[in-house]
Amino acid sequence: MDLNLTGRRALVTGASKGIGKACAEALAAEGCEVLVAARHPAAGPNAKAVDLSQRGAPESLADWAGEIDILINNAGAIPGGNLLKIDEETWRRAWDLKLFGYINLSRRVYASMKQRRRGVILNIIGSAGEKLDAAYIAGSTANAGLMAFSRALGGASHADGIRVLGINPGPVSTDRLTSLYKQRAETLLGDAARYQELFANMSFGRPATPEEIAAAAVFLVSDRSAYTSGCILTIDGGLASRSH
């Protein structure tokens, strides 16, 4: 299927690895000119090193990128922990990157898209925003907020010729997930190398791959999904729908 993305200009954040890198590669394969941003991206004229948690950084990135047709917000890593474990500094630092990073970059990019009456903003959020987890309280709360942000903005953005939507990935085989499960395997099984045994309770006995998330992302930002806005696609193998 031709997604009619050839010649489109896209910006992907958090693009040095994992889902962001997979999205950038998939967009490039469809003929997009892809700009990437991360704290430590690979060197190149279409790459910018940036810490989006810093005041003014999202706006600076948007100005560097110029006119874009597609924005994929993906940068962010919120630590686990319950209400008593996550202190205010940690909570604010994590939210400055993911929650406010998404919002501030979207604000600047949206204004540019509105002038041209076209564009798509896709937020990579996370299924903890719908399957709420007190042991990941900062992440669940931020993700729920970004779901509301995506739905609220995407419900009205059609008036400006813009689509806004989100994806909620469940477990994805990234370096971060591998590190987390190695820690759990060390604690539960006494051997970090046995971490894949802990995947048994996941849907299909494995986490998703970054490429599976990217494939959906590229479809959603394409004209093949031109009537899709204000909604969230959950890709978690059915995890959020389980009753137990």
What CATH number is attached to the domain comprising 107? 3.40.50.720
Is 112 a member of any domain? yes
Structure letter (DSSP) for residue 185? H
d(CA 102, CA 70): 14
- Which sign, positive or negative, has the C-alpha torsion 21, 22, 28, 34? negative
Residue 45 pLDDT level (bands cut at 50, 70, 90): confident
Is 244 a member of any domain? no
Is 185 a member of any domain? no
Domain hosting residue 223, numbered range: 9-172+208-236
pLDDT in tens, 97-122: 999 999 999 999 999 999 999 999 99
Is 97 a member of any domain? yes
CB atoms within 10 A of CB 21: 22
Is 60 a member of any domain? yes
How large is the average pLDDT for residues 8-34?
97
d(CA 130, CA 225): 23
Nearest by Cα to 71 from 101, 93, 42: 101
Is 122 a member of any domain? yes
Domain count, the chain: 1
pLDDT in tens, 134-189: 888 899 999 999 999 999 999 999 999 999 999 999 999 988 788 878 877 888 88
The two most distant CA atoms of the chain are separated, in Å, by 58
Instruction: Tell whether the model's pLDDT for residue 231 goes beyond 90.
Output: yes
Is 181 a member of any domain? no
Most confident of 32-46, 176-190, 214-228: 214-228
Q: How many residues does the chain have?
A: 244
Is 138 a member of any domain? yes
List helix spans (H) across the chain: 18-29, 57-65, 88-97, 99-116, 137-156, 175-188, 210-221
How large is the average pLDDT for residues 51-63?
95
